[in-house]
Amino acid sequence: MIARIKGLSHKQFIHNKNLIIRTLDLEEFEKIRAANLSGGNKRKLACALTLMISPTIEFLDEPTTGVDPVSRRSLFTMVK
């Protein structure tokens, strides 16, 4: 599968994907459909997708609602 996300090369896509999956502790959910994730993991997935292109600025409206405290810290680390 070749990824085409906002002009990212395949190599950049793979690098960003792996970094986000590790940082947000999503390894065990990598092969699970989004519809089958818990609410907190859906929230992490949504944030992960917005971070994929490494935006210069991003506006987040309560991104950690429904996310456990450990995941909340990893999400804030990723955003930083």
Predicted pLDDT at 36: 93
**Phi, psi for 37 (deg, rounded to 5):** -85, 160
How far apart are alpha carbons 32 and 53 in whole angstroms? 22
Domain for residue 34, yes or no? yes
How far apart are alpha carbons 36 and 80 in whole angstroms? 28
Number of domains in the chain: 1
Predicted pLDDT at 4: 65
Domain for residue 2, yes or no? no
Here the tokens at position 13 are 């896509």
Domain for residue 4, yes or no? no
Domain span at residue 22? 10-79
Predicted pLDDT at 29: 86
Position of tokens 């959910």?
Answer: 29
**pLDDT values of the chain reduced to their tens digit, one per residue, 80 residues:** 455 676 788 888 888 889 888 887 788 888 899 899 888 788 888 888 887 777 777 787 777 787 788 878 877 877 77
Contact by Cβ (8 Å): 66, 47: no
Domain for residue 41, yes or no? yes
Q: Is the pTM of this model over 0.85?
A: no
